[in-house]
A = this chain, B = another copy of it.
């Protein structure tokens, strides 16, 4: 390689990362994987893609070495290659939020409920949840809750929420959370809860943000 080719090679290698994160669908897959390892089938379901298309995008991500696979019986289980990938995903998200006003505005308009809660630190929220002053609910799918969740949180996946309203108290504040500040499931939950007369708000941050702060999460198989 002459110095010309070598220089091009350098930028090409770095662009491998860029290409991998240049597609909305692939970012969605990374987001899903940041919440825990998953099979192709499950990711296809969650992201409303065909299995084939999901597989194609995952191939691209594997080529860029952002994800890894392992076999479990008939299934191929995908996961992020390492913590740096979570960090990359978070940085891209944060950068988009800073640079694009239309993005952060949309997130805010869409019911990211900013009130007292958003100014509390994670620790404070966990303490309140421990003391029973608030109810902290994790609205992500059950498998993601199992892979890692906030302390003192209970799992009520968004799709089950309407059925399980009777489990929730009317007199306490209900705090919801999901994957992160970009994730809108917690907003949906707040909308539903407020409509039925509950006191509800969402945590601005979610699981990914907590990973970013180097905190570890509780794992469990059920709850």
Measured CB to CB, the residues of A under 8 A from B are 1, 3-4, 6-25, 27-28, 31, 48, 64-66, 81, 84, 87-88, 91-93, 95-96, 98-100, 102-103, 106-107, 110, 182, 184, 188
Contacts and interface: CB of A to CB of B under 8 A. Distances in A.
Nearest 9 A/B pairs, CB to CB: A11-B24, A18-B21, A22-B22, A18-B22, A13-B103, A65-B99, A19-B22, A15-B24, A14-B96
B84 A3 contact: no
A96 B16 contact: yes
Majority secondary structure of chain A interface residues (helix, strand, loop or mixed) = helix
A8 B22 CA distance: 14
21 contacts: A3-B188, A4-B48, A8-B24, A12-B24, A13-B96, A13-B100, A14-B24, A14-B92, A15-B22, A15-B23, A15-B27, A16-B100, A18-B18, A18-B19, A18-B22, A18-B92, A19-B22, A21-B21, A21-B22, A22-B22, A65-B99
A102 B16 CA distance: 13
Contacts of A15: 21-24, 27
Taken together, the copies of this chain in the complex come to 2
A190 to B, nearest CB: 13
Contacts of A18: 18-23, 27, 92
Given A10-B182, A11-B25, A88-B95, 15 more contacts: A1-B110, A6-B106, A7-B28, A7-B184, A10-B103, A10-B107, A11-B28, A13-B100, A13-B103, A14-B27, A14-B93, A14-B182, A18-B20, A18-B22, A84-B95
